Amino acid sequence: MHYLPNATRYKHMSYRRCGRSGLRLPALSLGLWHNFGHVDVLENCRRILHTAFDNGVTHIDLANNYGPPPGSAEENFGRILKEDFQGYRDELIISTKAGYTMWDGPYGDWGSRKYLVASLDQSLTRMGLDYVDIFYHHRPDPETPLEETMGALDHIVRQGKALYVGLSNYKPTEAGKAIALLRSMGTPCLIHQPKYSMMERWVEDGLLDLLGKEGVGCIPFSPLAQGLLTDKYLTGIPSDSRVAKPHGFLKESQLTDQKLAAVRALNTLAVSRGQTLAQMALSWILKDTRVTSVLVGASKPEQLLDSLKCLDNVTFSTEELATIDEILNRA
């Protein structure tokens, strides 16, 4: 059956300006890091994407190596885009990245101009696109001059293969240099994608201040700490969780008694706010106006719908914030 998007899809989503740019992103964006590879069921991927767009989630975030296997998330997304989203390309913001190992040999990794340009060409082919909206350098390269990496991003925009460029996983000092270089080239840095959650708060040590000052957007990934900040682990480790998966990024050794006690205490607070723990964890990130959007993953449509409810309550009292800090300090 032909997919027809929900006619009221823009009514309930809030859109935030990305730094000082003209672009606005939905408060929640959909990341395809997990659950969109060839190991996954294509029809489930399709249903998640339909649910996202039907609810005003216009931004879809990928990378060259997402899968598994690497490249398969882009291939699956490209197929669904062609079959179901014909005529809606201009309502979507599609991003991809390069920076981690993608192919064998010296040109399939890190930050050389050779790798970034070739990788984006491959990504565009896999997705069946002429351009992406945002292209990121996925991680800093300690061996390649920053001028070369940023020069490649500038070149890609001038080629028309990306409308905007961004950084991911750059610490404040490196990010500051990269932002200044891009600006001097005439291709401003649109956005930065760091790992940020209640459990991982390094961005508060200078990065958020830098992005606010420079007018660069911020889109955190792993806001639920790989599922730790959900009700999944309140009573043990379920068989279908990421911890139980062989290719998962959350390891059983990370689930210490202290962390699990903190998760249970946070869950109690979330319930008192009328939220699930996952919803509160997302709201907690969105309370900061320097955050443009939060990247969420989903293994099924219902999970995404549950996450979207976080937008019903993104304000916190000073007492609630103090309680959260106290719980996390104990962990």
Q: What is the pLDDT, as a whole number, of residue 229?
A: 95
10-residue averages of pLDDT along the chain (331 residues): 94 97 98 97 98 98 98 98 97 98 98 98 98 98 98 98 98 98 98 98 98 98 94 77 61 79 96 98 98 97 97 98 96 83
Q: What is the pLDDT, as a whole number, of residue 255?
A: 77
Q: What is the pLDDT, as a whole number, of residue 257?
A: 85
Q: What is the pLDDT, as a whole number, of residue 249?
A: 59
Q: What is the pLDDT, as a whole number, of residue 248?
A: 58
CB 222 within 8 A of CB 194: no
Query: SS3 string of the chain?
Result: CCCCCCCCCCCCCCEEECCCCCCEEECEEEECCCCCCCCCCHHHHHHHHHHHHHCCCCEEECCCCCCCCCCHHHHHHHHHHHHHCCCCHHHCEEEEEECCCCCCCCCCCCCCHHHHHHHHHHHHHHHCCCCEEEEEECCCCCCCCHHHHHHHHHHHHHCCCEEEEEEECCCHHHHHHHHHHHHHHCCCEEEEECECECCECHHHCCHHHHHHHHCCEECCECCCHHHCCCHHHCCCCCCCCHHHCCCCCCCHHHCCHHHHHHHHHHHHHHHHCCCCHHHHHHHHHHCCCCCCCEEECCCCHHHHHHHHHHHHCCCCCHHHHHHHHHHHHHC
Q: What is the pLDDT, as a whole number, of residue 256?
A: 84
Q: What is the pLDDT, as a whole number, of residue 254?
A: 72
Cis-peptide, bond into residue 172, ω within 30° of zero: no
pTM of the model: 0.95
| Domains, the chain, with CATH or none | 15-225+288-300 (3.20.20.100)
Q: What is the pLDDT, as a whole number, of residue 313?
A: 96
- In one-letter notation, the amino acid at residue 312 is D
